Structure 1
């Protein structure tokens, strides 16, 4: 037999309220109309669905089974309606968010999780990008927001705001060659075997740009694509690693040593682009989620 969705909704309201009168009211039907629908439903089912009493109604075993399946059917119908309706909306221009290796490690993913959940109709294209390229794209209107390094974006003319510390540190196996030290110059770090990010990554390019021509040529035992793997290799004693302090969790089994070099002290800025197509409200909301993500960094990340 075929079930009418409106009849199923009515039946669920009646069961939920324990009254045909109350169920009729919930579905904006008259009592005679609601009663007729229930009788027709029972006729088609070939079994009584409600036990009628002086103080209301309650479902029979068959009625309880119908109610349980009716809830599932109506829930599936609602999901179907939502899925189909998504194709009727005009597609919005995706927001474009850029950031370097450090920002893409934890800050941007954390912000995307909360933003995309809160804004199901807005899409975001997030890509790793070095600060000079990010600044160009923001200036040219090819991106909406960027997480950039302060000294490379300070004179860009873009609207910026502080987002958090992104200073670099050296990490190594706990109890290893960094044990008992608070600071170390990069020239000494480079005398030891290192593990690093791939040469095309934003962080690796930053380090190579700033170490200068007189620094020892570092020996990288291996290079990897992600900071998670890099931290794990350093913790295992494969080599020292230069990473942003913010990516090292407080409970990580590594020794952490600040770099003495001035170029290692840097800060993240949130930079706004001039992209005209993007809805201003969505860009503002994404910026707010990035601020919250920055504030949620683990204790010690901004030390």
Structure 2
């Protein structure tokens, strides 16, 4: 026999509720209509499906078997509807965004949250990557956008635009050893105990590359993987820290000094992937959010 899906739904509601009246209510049917549907089911099945009593109904063994299989049929039907409906939805756009550690600290999250909220049909893969690797992947068309450092991307041949200051500064506990100072050299900083980022971090490797083989020997009291933790340690007096200015919360009680070394002055650039044709509307929209976040951070 052929089963009507609404009849199966009604039967399951009746078995679950233990009442034809309650099952009818869940299907928005009148009691006579629901009762007629159940009688039709029993007639076509050739067997009694419900035991009627003064306090409600309960399934017969045949009714329990029907309910079990009806539940499976309805579950499979729902999955079938979902699978077919997926072909009618707008395709999901996929973007890849790359950036170094300082960009990932505040800039990218501040841009990503409102972008994802405003563009539910776009997914973004975000990866931390040093500027040389970011430039290579953008040039190979493996990413849509990247936040890179100006001195490492200026000759890349990629489409770039200024995104904001990312200069390196030194921070310490408010009223500590930096008190009264407005600037100093990295060599002077190295005379004090430091807290720093892990040796493999993109920022630390960038700094060490610019210091070269004659870099002063520094004492790191501890190293951590996260800029938030690093700033908190410096604020607590664990040691001085060399960080991007962008990593500092302006409301955090810290002493901040400029670094006099020329390499400490750097800028973020927004770089575009070298893909065929014009950038997608989704990539343009994400770029706009990155520009806005750069102005606000």
Q: Structure 1 segments of 4 or more deviating over 6 A?
A: 42-45
Deviation of 1:115 after TM superposition, in Å, equals 1.0
Unpaired runs of 5+ in structure 2?
Answer: 1-22, 35-77
Query: Is structure 2 residue 126 aligned with structure 1 residue 146?
Result: no
Q: Distance in 1 between matches of 2:275 and 2:151?
A: 23
8 A Cα contact 2:143 2:273, kept in partner: yes
Deviations 1:218-255 (A, max 9, x none): 11111111100000000111111000111111121110
More displaced 10-residue stretch of structure 1: 87-96 or 107-116: 87-96
Deviation of 1:287 after TM superposition, in Å, equals 0.6
Deviations 1:195-215 (A, max 9, x none): 111111111111111113223
8 A Cα contact 2:183 2:260, kept in partner: yes
Q: Distance in 2 between matches of 1:250 and 1:4?
A: 57
Query: Is structure 2 residue 185 aligned with structure 1 residue 185?
Result: yes
Deviation of 1:132 after TM superposition, in Å, equals 0.6
Deviation of 1:109 after TM superposition, in Å, equals 0.8
* Cα distance change of structure 1 residues 84 and 200 upon mapping to structure 2, 3 Å threshold: farther
8 A Cα contact 1:171 1:256, kept in partner: yes
Q: Which residue of 2 aligns with 1:175?
A: 175
8 A Cα contact 1:95 1:278, kept in partner: no
8 A Cα contact 2:93 2:121, kept in partner: no
- What are the equivalent positions in structure 2 for 1:110-121 lying under 5 Å apart? 110-121=110-121
8 A Cα contact 2:107 2:294, kept in partner: yes
Secondary structure of the 1:123 match is strand
Q: Which residue of 2 aligns with 1:229?
A: 229
Q: Distance in 2 between matches of 1:168 and 1:218?
A: 17
8 A Cα contact 2:174 2:253, kept in partner: yes
Query: Is structure 2 residue 258 aligned with structure 1 residue 258?
Result: yes
Q: Which residue of 2 aligns with 1:48?
A: none
Q: Which residue of 2 aligns with 1:64?
A: none
Q: Distance in 2 between matches of 1:84 and 1:115?
A: 27
Q: Distance in 2 between matches of 1:105 and 1:258?
A: 20
Secondary structure of the 2:125 match is strand
Q: Which residue of 1 aligns with 2:286?
A: 286
8 A Cα contact 2:24 2:31, kept in partner: no
Q: Distance in 1 between matches of 2:124 and 2:277?
A: 14
Q: Distance in 1 between matches of 2:278 and 2:127?
A: 17
Q: Which residue of 1 aligns with 2:94?
A: 94
Q: Which residue of 1 aligns with 2:131?
A: 131
Q: Distance in 1 between matches of 2:26 and 2:82?
A: 20
* Rg (Cα) greater in structure: 2
Query: Is structure 2 residue 208 aligned with structure 1 residue 208?
Result: yes
TM-score w.r.t. structure 1 length?
0.70
Q: Which residue of 2 aligns with 1:267?
A: 267
Secondary structure of the 2:200 match is coil
* Cα distance change of structure 1 residues 218 and 44 upon mapping to structure 2, 3 Å threshold: farther
* Cα distance change of structure 1 residues 223 and 173 upon mapping to structure 2, 3 Å threshold: same
Deviations 1:247-286 (A, max 9, x none): 1111211100000000000000000002349971111111
